[in-house]
Structures are given as C-alpha cells and as structure tokens.
Structure 1
Amino acid sequence: MSLPARITGTKSNEDGRRNSVIGARKIPNAKKPKSRPPIGLRNKVGFLHHALPNYSGPYSVGAMDIEVPAENPRVFSHISRRGYHLLKLETVLMTIYYPAAFGSGAGRDPSGSKKWSRETWLPRPRFKTAKAYGKFAGIGNMAVPLFAATTMLTKIPAFRNPPPASHWPPPNNYRHGGAEVKNQEGQPPPGESEEPVFPLMIFSHGLGGTRTAYSSLCGEFASYGFVVCALEHRDGSGPRTYVNHAKEGLGTMEERESKGHIDHDEKQRKRKYDEIDYIFPKRNPKDTSPLNEKGVDRELRDAQTQLRLAEIEEAYNVLYQIRQGNGGAVMKHNLRRKGHIGASSRGLDGVNWSAWKDRFHYKRVTIAGHSFGAATTVEVLRNADRFKYVEQGIIYDIWGAVIKPPTDEPRHRISAPLLGINSEAFMYWPSNFNAVMSLMEEALSQGAPTWLCTVRGTVHVSQSDFSILYPRICSLFLKMTANPNRALDLNISASLEFLKDVMRGNGGGKAMIERSMTNEALLNTEILEDLPTEHRPDDKWIAARLKIPHEFRSRVIPQVVRKIKRKGNRGQYNPGDEIWMHVRTEAEHVKAWREKRGSGIGDRDRKKEYENASVSEEKGESY
C-alpha cells in the first residue's frame, strides 16, 4: 500500500537538467553552530593542527577499537592482482562509539594509567595511511606533509574504554545547558527502565573513508544515547586498511586459509598482516566520475557490496556477544592490541564487560551510511529477511550509480522508514538525483514513511570529518558555503527528528532521543517545487563542487546579516533557509503508520523473525 507523501515537482530540459524559478544565492538565516568547548591543550593549539569539535549531546562519549577473526572467512569474486584474490573476509574491524559513564576523562583511566587515552583521527600507522590517502586523491606523497601540518596530531574527542553510561541524561544538551550536563542525571521517562538501554546504529563509510573518517557524525549520535558501530570495510574502498592475523590458534593465516579458501602471498606471510589499498578498477579507474562514459565497474562494485554486507553480519554478531555479556571472549581474540599493526598499546584493557550486558538493544537497529556506504544501507534494507534486526535506514549523499533497480519481489524492496540527506553538490547531478528519487518512491510504494532533503551550501564531504578539518580547502576549491559545524548540526538534527518519529517507544530508543534533542522542525520544511540551478556548476565540475557567481555577496554579506540578526534577536528563521525538502511524509500518515505497526499487524511475524535471527548464544572458540 502506498503511503501518501508530498514529492517535489521538477521540470526537465532535453539534456536532463532541472530548472527552477527559485534563486539560491545564499543561505540567508542560518543558525549559529552548537558550541563545543575544546578538550585539553591539543585541541586549543589550533595553529599547530586542526581539531575536531566536542559532541553536542548530553553524554560524554567513549570508544573501543575491535578487530576479531570473522566467523565465516571467505573470498568474494575471482577478482585478483598478481594471482591472489583481492576481496576476502578474514577479520572484521570496527570502532564502537557509545555514551560514557560519569567521570570519563577524570582521574585514572580504566586500565590504571594516569592519563586517559584518545584515538588519533588518522589511523595508525599514520605516515603510511597519509601516503595511501595521497594515492587515492591523486597527489601522491604530497599528502604526507599536508596531513603532518594539519591532522597528524588530531585526536577524536572520545575517551578509550570507559564504562558505558548507566544513567538517563537530563532534559537538556550541551548547547543549552553547557558542559555540566554531561555530569548530570535525569529521571527515567515514564514507562522506561531505571537504567537506559541504548539504541544501536551500524554505520558504513564511503569511498576513501575509514572507521574514523566520520567520527563527528558517529560521536554525535553516541552523545545523544546511541551505541554506534562504525565499520572499516576491507573491500578496497578505503585509502588503506590493515588486516591483522593471530600468532596462534583462531585467526592465524593458516587457519584462515584452511577455513575460508583464502590465499596469501609471501610478503603477507612474512609480515603477518595484509595491507589493503584502494582498488582502482582495471581499464576504468575513474568509474566514480559522473562524466565517465563507461559507467561503474559493476563486477567490482557488486562484489564489494556483498563483502560489506558480510562484514555487517560479522560485526552484528560481535555486538551481540558484547551485549550478552561475552565481551571477555571478544577481547581474547581482539587483534587491535599491542604487538599488532594499527593498534594502540591500550587495546581493550580496562573494559568492564559486565557493564555491557543488556546495555543496548540488538533487535531494532538503525543502519546508516554515506555515499557508497549509503548504497550499502539500501542493500541491507532491501534484504530484510537477511537483516531481520534492522528497522530503519538513513542514507547520506548516496552514490546512486551502484544502486540496482528494485526486484519484482516486494520482499526485496525497501519497506522500512527511510531518510535521505543530500549535499547541494550531489543534488545537481541529474542521474544521481533521479536514482535517489527512485529509492524514495520505492519506499513509499511499500508504505514506509520517507523523507528526502538537501542541506544548502554543502558538498559531498560535508557529512564527514573532512569538511571540519579542512574547511578552507572545501571552501576555496569545492566552493562550500555552509559552515561545516552547522552542516553537521543539520544532518544530526534531521536524523534525530526522523528517528524520533519512526522508532518505537518503551524500549525502542524513542524516549532517549526525545529526552535531550533540540527539535528544529527540519522535517516539516515546505516542499521545494522545483530544483534550483544557480549554484549548479559547469558539467566538468558536476557533483564535485558548487558554482559561486558572486563570492563576496555569497560569503561575506550573509555572515554579517546573520550576526546582526542574532545580536538583535530579530531573525525570522525558517528551516527552508538552510535545507530544501524534496519528499516528505505528512505527520498524519506517520501517525497512522505507527498505529498500524503498534496494533500488531505484522508484529507477530517480525517477532518470529527476531527469534530466528542468525545469532547463536554460544560461539565457543569463535566467541
């Protein structure tokens, strides 16, 4: 059954471009970014390097790095280089961001050290990772001094391995209540347990991404009460990742080869780890370009997607074990510890695994991703029979070229609530925007609440840490006009509003969001009838940058006007000043959808599916 929604009307030229009578010269009444005081001297000495902002939610944030052998190691596709398979699943690597307990960052850390530890934003080994970024970006070793002068010292504002929070936050957040809210406790909402059980989110990165490249987005969700599993895909979509191997027993090269028909070359055998760089498709290295006449390398991208789906399943099994109180077994096999490449000396030392038992939900998961990760999210949602524990999805600036047409079987179409958030740069890419719209229509046709919006003045990297760490580059070369911190606010606020509307109450995570979010009513923005074109770049820059006809008028004047309005408190703010809405499910239909779901229609089958989910209670040697 189709769920009524308003969808943007568009006009098309013969060349497929969309025209509009609406001008988009500037962002007239954008709000000021949320305040995030720096943590320590490292963040304050900004002239030495760039710093990441602190998180705006009421919780302090913790982080754990975990790499463990996959339960089902195997190869994907026959694609090879130098006679060895490229796409193989041996271990699964993730950073878990989560709400941290009172006292995180004060006194001794959980391992007994005098100083609390934080993960570096650029994954270790940093110089090698910087070189890999240079190769990916086409600038070679020039990337090393670039990173060394800017982000080589940057740390993520989340402490390693603190206990998870066991308190409800106050009905406030960092923006309105200041830093003290992170040390205040609130009363449990009506109908909720004395201690909170946090909602779970799984995040999939895009091309050129890592598990830390979206730390601001993932950490923001954690500060509002989510346990967020940020995967690092080993499919050749990141600049470089390292696959460790155990020295004995489960996870050794020999054990992986015997169990999963996996092969290793002599260099890998000698150094005891795999080094996986970005895979450029043969004879079509720029298959991501909108101007590429050959299109995407379908064989490679489909195989990468299947590997990503398997990694999500593996990560979910690890999360399930942690939630069941079996974290000690996970720690036993963790390969991100001293003596392994890419690891810190802390590893998982000091983690109180008993505190994790029943600490987060595992049946009502949110799946989210950016770019290629958003396309991965779509595949998860289309395979609801395989990912029975996923209930809703968020796609940030999806790469539409890798999306397959929907099947004729309704069970393999998107039937879960869906939120799409575009960058303005990607909105001007006609074929990509059409692909996104087709996904919205697919979800609507299955009766799912659906929204699609665009954050004005943003580019493709605006939903990652890159726009925050390199704002001048994004402004000068990509013509980003949105404040990168405010762009992050808008993405988080719209996402929290979506989740508040579609998540379940009384144990589903809804109460956690309602407790402390700032509702900016972004999803109530009026529908944009036609797509604007004023910032549409020339074809050679399509999707890569924006066009700024008048730099001074588009940058300086709006900033002055905003300051005057804030000072005089005379601003007539409208969400449409900062975002454009293309698809919106009306409130009465969202309410009807919730009532239908809550009435028990379909719940019996869903409950049975949950009970039959492919997660075993006892993992033995495979934890």
Structure 2
Amino acid sequence: MAIKGTSKWPLVIFSHGLFGSRIAYSQFCGRVASEGYVVLAIEHRDGTGSSVKIRSANQKIRTLTYTRYDEVGWGKHTKPAGLYPFRAEQLVFRTNEVYEIYHSFKALVDGDAGNIRNEISESGHDLSQWKGKIDVDDLHLTGHSFGGATVFAFLRHPPPEPFEPLPLKSVLALDPWVGPVPSPGPIPATVFEKPSLAVINSEGFTLWEEHFQLLKDIVSHWKTEAGASATLVTIGTLCVVGALWMEGILAVLISLFLVKSTHKDFSDFPVAFPFTAKRALKMANIIHTLATSFFRNSLEAELGKEPRKGEEVWQDKIGKKHLVGKFGEVLVHS
C-alpha cells in the first residue's frame, strides 16, 4: 500500500555498517517498508561486508569476506597511509555503489533494464507490475555506523561519470562513525537541492566525547553551509538518578545491567538473543518512529510531543558515564 495521499511508493536506500550485510538490518528496513516505502538494502562490495557474492562479467561467482587494511594488495596503486585514508577510499567506492543501485533499479522498474542481470528477473517475477508505482524522484538515503559515514560521503561528492545527480529529499544517519569523514563534515555539493539531515545516536556514541564533538560539527556545518534542516538526537537510557547513592559492588552491578541504547540496537543482532530481544524490539520501535517521522517531514512534531533538551551525565563509582533519563526518552541536542 502506498503512503496515504500518494499513488506511488517513495524510495529508501540503506547502507550497512562494518561487518554488516543487507540482511543484518531486517528490523529497520522491514519496518520502514511496512509504512509504504520501497527499501533497497545495499550489500557493499568494498570489503566491509561480512560476506558477499560477486558475479563477474563472465558470470563467475566469487565470495568476498571482510577485508582488513593489511590484507589488501595495491599493485601499482598508491597504498593509503593508515586506516582512516583506507576507509575514505572505501567510502568513495560505496558512494559509487549508491548511484549504481539507484540507476539500475530505476531502469528495472521503467522496463529499460537492457542487459542487467539480477536475481529478481531470473527468479521469474514480473517486473512490469512495478512500472509507474514507485516514485524514484522521492528518494531518501540512510545508513548505520560506517553506513552513516557513507551518507555523509555521498553528500560531499558530486556524482561520478556517467551518472546524473540523484533526487535526494532527506538523509538519515543512524549512530554514524565519523572518524574517516573529513572535518568539518560534508561540504554541500552544488548538485544537491539541500536535503534535510537527521542523526539518531545511541548513548554510547554520544558519551564518546571526542567523536560526538566531530558529529556535532558535521550537523552544525550542514545547517550553516547548506542552509538546510539538520537534527541530532540521542535515544534511550534507564533512569539512574535513584542509583546515585550506591557504592562498591552494587554500583558495579547496576552499571553493567542498565538498560540503555547501544550501537548494536540499530541492527538485528540484539533481537536474536532471548535475554535482549524484548528490550531490543522496544528500541526498534523507537528508531522506527523517529525514522519514518523524519522521512515524512514530521520529525519536529514527533519530538515536540515530549521535548527534552540538554545533557545530564552521571558518572558512577567505577568511573563509567551514563546519560540521566528514562528508557525510550529522546534527547534533542542543540
């Protein structure tokens, strides 16, 4: 069913994190799709996926597993000086893949696939029934962790030859790892029409002070340089105010079992374990609500239901820091 008030399905492209895959985010992608979006989950071939099958021009298939920096043979090419430059090279590769998957998918649904070989057409599905039902001009880009860095890299670079600029409406970064992203963040490429930006962070990444400052600089830079909407929020922690008086072993146990948002919450991994599944599904609901509100341009209204601004941090007796709040609460950063 298309989104209410429209006759077509908008398009979302999703980029996975390091050691991830297209199927490691079924909770997020499936929930977004259930709201009337077509979601394309990329399986990146840049060596950051857990395992991906690659088909060559002569139709031979090989498996590429996660590739470490010291495992790459550069041949005549210049070897990047360190991990971050290596990751930056992978971001360029990933950005090109975003263009490739968009234009390939557009050709498929337009009935102009040419010689493109793909599992969908080979499975016998009639792609003609999709024609005219997907709004490829209503495009949203999102990704988790290194996939979040990918969407920032995408904003920074104009399209590679021979591709045209994509009709990007919004960009959503889920707990992005911004180490390889050049400071102060994406310089708005003139080919884009200033898409809105939102970042949803976990508590762990927000309390990572040096990294969080880089992220805030990116969001601020997008507001000032692109002149576009940019929102940064952190989700979910269990109220710890009542534990302030606790000391010793009890404080250690409390800090270990606090229910709070983590970097893994954006993926399927916490759902797979019995002891974390119930909590993980609740967190998935929160992420889903924020994401779809953003895609529908109603995030501000959603956040205004229970506004929470400012950051209150508690450091327990063993030196571990926590955000003070309650599970599922959304903290809006200025």
Instruction: Give 1:381-392 correspondences, 5 Å limit.
Output: 381-383=155-157, 387-392=165-170
Alignment partner of 2:30: what SS? Answer: helix
Alignment partner of 1:436: what SS? Answer: helix
> Structure 1 pair 217/536, CA: closer, same or farther in 2 (3 Å)?
farther
Give the deviation of 1:307 after TM superposition: 0.8
- Which of 377, 383, 391 is residue 151 of structure 2 equivalent to? 377
Q: Deviations over 1:461-490 (max 9, x none)?
A: 100011111253x69xxxxxx811111111
- Where does residue 88 of structure 1 map in the other structure? none
- Where does residue 521 of structure 1 map in the other structure? 302
Alignment partner of 1:363: what SS? Answer: strand
> Structure 1 pair 419/408, CA: closer, same or farther in 2 (3 Å)?
closer
RMSD (Å), alpha carbons: 3.4
Q: Deviations over 1:287-309 (max 9, x none)?
A: xxxxxxxx961231011111101
- Where does residue 48 of structure 2 map in the other structure? 237
- Where does residue 210 of structure 1 map in the other structure? 21
Instruction: Give 1:246-285 correspondences, 5 Å limit.
Output: 251-252=57-58, 272-282=60-70
Instruction: Give 1:13-52 correspondences, 5 Å limit.
Output: none
Say whether 1:451 aligns with 2:231. yes
> Structure 1 pair 320/471, CA: closer, same or farther in 2 (3 Å)?
same
- Where does residue 221 of structure 1 map in the other structure? 32
Higher relative contact order (CA 8 A, sep 6+): 1
Give the deviation of 1:581 after TM superposition: 2.3
- Which of 88, 111, 129 is residue 355 of structure 1 equivalent to? 129
- Where does residue 311 of structure 1 map in the other structure? 97
Give the deviation of 1:497 after TM superposition: 1.4
- Where does residue 333 of structure 2 map in the other structure? 583
Instruction: Give 1:187-206 correspondences, 5 Å limit.
Output: 189=5, 192=6, 196-206=7-17
Say whether 1:420 aligns with 2:199. yes
Count of aligned positions: 296
In 2, the alpha carbon distance for the partners of 1:460 and 1:368 equals 16
- Where does residue 182 of structure 2 map in the other structure? 404
Give the deviation of 1:524 after TM superposition: 4.9
Say whether 1:322 aligns with 2:135. no
- Kept in 2, the 8 Å contact 1:415–1:443? The answer is no
- Kept in 2, the 8 Å contact 1:416–1:443? The answer is no
Give the deviation of 1:459 after TM superposition: 0.9
> Structure 1 pair 502/470, CA: closer, same or farther in 2 (3 Å)?
same
Quick one: which amino acid aligns to residue 215 of structure 2?
Answer: V
Quick one: which amino acid aligns to residue 228 of structure 1?
Answer: V
In 1, the alpha carbon distance for the partners of 2:313 and 2:208 equals 12
Instruction: Give 1:95-174 correspondences, 5 Å limit.
Output: 167-168=1-2
Give the deviation of 1:418 after TM superposition: 0.8
- Which of 203, 215, 222 is residue 436 of structure 1 equivalent to? 215
Quick one: which amino acid aligns to residue 51 of structure 2?
Answer: R
Give percent identity, aligned residues only. 25
Alignment partner of 1:206: what SS? Answer: coil
Q: Deviations over 1:241-292 (max 9, x none)?
A: 12123xxxxx217xxxxxxxxxxxxxxxxxx432212122229xxxxxxxxx
- Where does residue 171 of structure 2 map in the other structure? 393
Give the deviation of 1:317 after TM superposition: 1.4
- Where does residue 467 of structure 1 map in the other structure? 270
Unmatched 5+ residue regions in structure 1? 1-166, 170-187, 246-250, 254-271, 284-294, 338-346, 476-481, 504-518, 540-545, 549-553, 555-574, 585-623
Instruction: Give 1:536-575 correspondences, 5 Å limit.
Output: none
In 2, the alpha carbon distance for the partners of 1:226 and 1:213 equals 19
In 2, the alpha carbon distance for the partners of 1:401 and 1:308 equals 16
In 1, the alpha carbon distance for the partners of 2:213 and 2:144 equals 17
Q: Deviations over 1:8-43 (max 9, x none)?
A: xxxxxxxxxxxxxxxxxxxxxxxxxxxxxxxxxxxx
Give the deviation of 1:529 after TM superposition: 1.6
> Structure 1 pair 238/409, CA: closer, same or farther in 2 (3 Å)?
closer
- Where does residue 74 of structure 2 map in the other structure? none
Give the deviation of 1:447 after TM superposition: 2.1
Unmatched 5+ residue regions in structure 2? 72-80, 237-259
Say whether 1:300 aligns with 2:62. no
- Normalised to the residue count of structure 1, the TM-score between the two structures is 0.43
